[in-house]
Amino acid sequence: MAILNAQRTVHRVVLFAIVCLAVTYLLLDQTDQVPARISWTGYVPSSFDWAARKRRHPIAESSLTKLPTGHPRELPRIQHDFSAEQWTEAHNRTQRERRNAVREAAVKSWNAYREHAWARDEVTPVSLRGKDSFNGWGATLVDSLDTLWIMGLRKEFKEAVRAVSKIDWDKGNSLTCSLFETNIRYLGGLLAAYDLSREAVLLRKAVELGEMLYAAFDTPNHLPPNQFSFVAVKEGLLYASKHESIAAIGSLSLEFTRLSQLTGNPKYFSAVDNIKRHFERTQDETKLPGMWPVFVDAKNNFQATDYSFGIAASADSAYEYLSKTYMLLGGLDESYKKMHLKAVATMKKHVLFRPMFPDVYYPAAPPDVLFAGTVLSNGRIVELLPEVHHLACFGGGMFALGGRLFHEDGDVTVGEQLARGCVWAYDQFPTGVMPEMAEMVACPRPPRSSSSSSSSSSSSPDPLAPCDWNETLWRKANKGSEEDDGSKSLPKPFSAVRDPQYLLRPEAIESIFVLYRITGKTDLLDVAWRMFLAICKATETRGAFSAITDVMTEGYTTKLDAMESYWIAETLKYFYLIFSEPHVISLDEWVFNTEAHPLRVPRA
């Protein structure tokens, strides 16, 4: 009997284990989770439980917008079919050498951070000290997680995970928090690292942080302010801002959607879906229909009555996230597609411009490049300011990705013209790096009113057509700027450099990476390598790499002693990936948030 009872006990245990595994599988399948690969369990919860906080403006569970149901659509292929290419051993060896050089730069940067600023937000690459710019939670630590994983730095990754598992989101060094920066760097970094490694503690920390950021939506109209006080959040005394950048409020959809997909909790997605509806409602009612002004009044019915439009600072990622959220939702929400197509149509008619090139510089043919400027519109008159912003260089990748995703081949071409425009700008300066902001002389555009932005006519002149050089026009634009910014030495058609700094930004290499993966044009690999060498030469320090004061400097550059977390998270990651095998972080399987954190796309 004892033997029989023991056998029955064993059978019951086995049956119970099978049932538990089956239930676990079903639950994980519903929330897009899989068991962790790394058995690190040193999780330390934050000292304040944001999930238990009582809401001042509660939302009934029945009123939450659920994630779209149904199987994800089979989306168009994004990446070029690299399988058809005949890669030579010499080609592969060259890319490996380049990739290893980027990896060495990342290791040098990470070691400087690890040795001199561990768990701080940044390391100062000249003085080699710690610095806190984003609440002191360890921005570089979290921002670098997925880069460490992608580069195969597993020892460094595991050490970083141990430190991340102890972050206390209630112990920041500031009384306020930027919703935008915390979302893209910290939450995006945690979600991407979890999607790559399936380390469970990272998702737990992401949920903790997600609860804190979700509290920012506890306002009368459920729209969040970007800057909010922790005291006000806890007491439920928040209000949406009257002057909010569209980048801040429009760049939450990827991270919050992915958090809902991974946890099965719809509240995060519901919060950003509410924002989406306001963008959708106002898109055709602005002073430049199809686009939103850089700032909106989120407190008062999302009024979008300002007059400045563009895709650079304070606007950029709001547009970037439209096509990417469509992908992350498996193509099940058409509103993101419609908003993207309307926005890029308006950009092509009003925001993008072609520089006016002197024939003497380019006797054969001028470069086939475009740039994104700034537009001022009062609803009737549209004025283009032909500014060149490094931040706007992401636009090449945005146009190309959306063009491939939505079967708009012309937009892929525009994306390449924008990406190569930024490369051309890099090549015009002594350091081989373009500045933060400069001005150019653009080809004259046909007169247009803002009302024509969303419609097209076959008889309308092409606003992006090439033009002949006009010395008088250039002199007029250049007048008054020569004495104070050294523009006499600038190559035409530049007329001024308003901000000569280079801050280790990633936007130009981001677009080159995306264009390479989409078109397969191998010359872009050489372009990327030339950019990497120029950046390293201008920014390298004894300890790491530093932002510089002036891209116009010949030889030695003056360092700003600053290395923000996006240097490892974005710039070096994109350089590494462009020299990697195309299947590594395929554009068909991942979407990058605006901090270059890859999030896994649901499969059809």
Helix 267-282 and helix 200-214, axial crossing angle in degrees, nearest 10: 50
Q: Determine whether the annotation assigns residue 594 to a binding site.
A: yes
Distances (CA, A) of 18 to 14, 118, 244: 6, 44, 52
Omega before 493 within 30 of 0, i.e. cis: yes
Closest by Cα among 457, 400, 333 to 67: 333
Are 563 and 541 in contact by the 8 Å Cβ rule? The answer is: no
Cα–Cα nearest to 510, from 565, 568, 428, 577:
577
Task: State which H helix or E strand residue 339 sits in.
Answer: helix 334-346
The reply to whether 181 belongs to the active site is: yes
> Where does 32-169 have alpha helices with state H?
89-116, 139-143, 145-150, 154-164
**Rounded to whole angstroms, how far apart are CA atoms 143 and 570?**
9
Length of the chain: 604
Nearest CA-CA partner of 603 in 591, 592, 589, 593 = 589
Rounded CA gap, 66 and 260, in Å? 9
Run of H or E including 59: none
**Cα gap 479→472, rounded to integer Å:** 11
Is 507 a residue of the active site? yes
Buried b (16+ CB within 10 A) or exposed e, 479-497: eebeeebebeebebbbbbb
The token duo for 552 is 């116009």
In the structure encoding, which two tokens stand for residue 30, read together? 């519903």
Marked catalytic residue, from 436, 510, 570, 595: 436
213 sits in which H/E element? helix 200-214
Q: Output phi, psi for 341, to 5 deg.
A: -65, -40
Return the sign of the alpha-carbon dihedral for residues 57, 60, 65, 67.
Answer: positive
- Per-residue burial over 323-339, b if 16 or more Cβ lie within 10 Å, else e, is bbbbbbbbbbbebbbeb
**Is there a catalytic annotation at residue 471?**
no
* Cβ atoms of residues 242 and 300 within 8 Å: yes
Residue 316: active-site member:
yes
Read off φ and ψ for residue 127, nearest 5 degrees.
Answer: -80, -15
User: In Å, how far are 91, 298, 480 from 477, measured between CA atoms?
Assistant: 45, 37, 8
Active site residues: 181, 316, 436, 507
Binding residues for Ca(2+) are 594
